Structure 1
Amino acid sequence: MNKLYSFDLAQGTFVGVDEAGRGPLAGPVVAAAVQLKDNKYYQFFDDINDSKKLSEKKRELLFDKIITFCHVGIGIATVEEIEKYNILNATFIAMNRALDDISENNIICDKVLVDGNRLIKEFSGKQEPLVKGDSKSLSIAAASIIAKVSRDNIMKEFSKLYPEYFFEKHKGYGTKLHRNILLEKGPLPIHRKSFLKKILGD
């Protein structure tokens, strides 16, 4: 049995929460909330792990399985919200929206386990932080995959609007390619201006 799934069984009924996109120079931050629908589906999740340890192709394949066999909620905080409230508070906004989204499934939930060492601000339910949760809990790992793939898909759509910025390749992260394009062409409305000061100055 998947060791991440074994961990979840010992935790009771809960929702796992994780995010993607705190570090990039462009695009939103996306959070996901995940709860397994039924214990009988555990055999579909042997390959689930922290999204950062999986290839893009593997994440996309697992994304479809998770959507099918789990309750899933997705929340997004925009670039404007990141700039207005800062990235940490925008991440909490996205997480709360993901939890609001999954609650529409009328799930039973004793608590929320959130990846990292911080509680979700403004969330009134019972919650616990779990450091490196995406490598310990199947539900949090699944949330990390949902958040990552969802955000990557948003950035791929942006690449259609701004093909010369190659968002489909770097997904908004501060790669050498992205930095060089910024220096040549300047920022777009989807760039986080407060993240660009070390590259472009004030």
Structure 2
Amino acid sequence: MADLRLERVLWRHGCQVIGLDEAGRGPLAGPVVAAACILPEGAVLPGVNDSKRLTEKQREAAYAPIQEAALGWGVGIVDAARIDEINILRATFEAMAQAVEAARVMAAVRLGRVAEAALLVDGNQRLPQWTGWQRPVVGGDRKSLSIAAASILAKVTRDRLMVEYDQLYPGYGFARNKGYGSQEHLAALEQLGPCPIHRRTFIGPRQLRFF
């Protein structure tokens, strides 16, 4: 279960801790979404854990309490066209940088000052755009409460977007598969071809013929 052990080490050094995670690196359609979350010392968020280990109902239930508890939080969204332009890894970093900036601005407004910040980044890669202290944490959404909270913010935000896209582009089952390559989604691609939110670099030549 995610806790605050990593955060406490940094708080003792006077750092503002920013947990950072993303959702949607693997789907065939839709944006990649990143979220950053700055929790206060001693934050209590019962049930908050790695978003992948929670049900959709549990994630939705945790979403607002995380926002209310956080000193600052932010979301970054990079769409399919940009993913195709710069590749998914760079697009993920771009979304993360947006999320961190938004979270820091919110925290600065609420606290009345800009604090020295340290990143805890889920995974094994550093955020290139960040020049301050940071630590990649493999499995971070199961170890750090700040990262776990960010993972829920990112996942819920993206899932809600995909439900909206399902209304705009019916037939692919986006509300159910969230853009991932389910059998339903792949069958729809064969029949309908890609829609504007599909990632051209993620789908095969048979589907690309529709473009």
- TM value normalised by structure 1: 0.92
Map 1:1-202; keep pairs closer than 5 Å: 4-12=3-11, 13-39=16-42, 41-42=43-44, 45-70=45-70, 71-105=72-106, 106=108, 108-197=115-204, 200=207
Distance (whole Å) between structure 1 residues aligned to residue 206 and residue 96 of structure 2: 29
Number of residue pairs the alignment of both structures matches: 198
Give the stretch that moved more between structures: 113-122 or 15-24: 113-122
Q: CA deviation at 1:199?
A: 6.3
C-alpha contact (below 8 Å) 1:31/1:74 kept by paired residues: yes
Q: CA deviation at 1:109?
A: 4.0
Q: Secondary structure at the match of 2:124?
A: coil
Residues 42-92 of structure 1 deviation map (CA, whole Å, 9 limit, x = unaligned): 1xx120100000000000010111011112111111111100100000000
Distance (whole Å) between structure 2 residues aligned to residue 139 and residue 198 of structure 1: 41
Distance (whole Å) between structure 2 residues aligned to residue 22 and residue 120 of structure 1: 15
Unaligned runs of 5+ in 1: none
Give the stretch that moved more between structures: 49-58 or 176-185: 176-185
Distance (whole Å) between structure 2 residues aligned to residue 200 and residue 156 of structure 1: 23
Residues 157-188 of structure 1 deviation map (CA, whole Å, 9 limit, x = unaligned): 10111122221000001111111111111100
- TM value normalised by structure 2: 0.88
Ranges of 4+ aligned residues in structure 1 off by more than 4 Å: none
Matched to 1:30, the amino acid is V
C-alpha contact (below 8 Å) 1:159/1:167 kept by paired residues: yes
Distance (whole Å) between structure 1 residues aligned to residue 188 and residue 3 of structure 2: 40
Distance (whole Å) between structure 1 residues aligned to residue 117 and residue 190 of structure 2: 49
Q: CA deviation at 1:6?
A: 3.7
C-alpha contact (below 8 Å) 1:8/1:137 kept by paired residues: yes
Q: Give the aligned CA root-mean-square deviation in angstroms.
A: 1.7
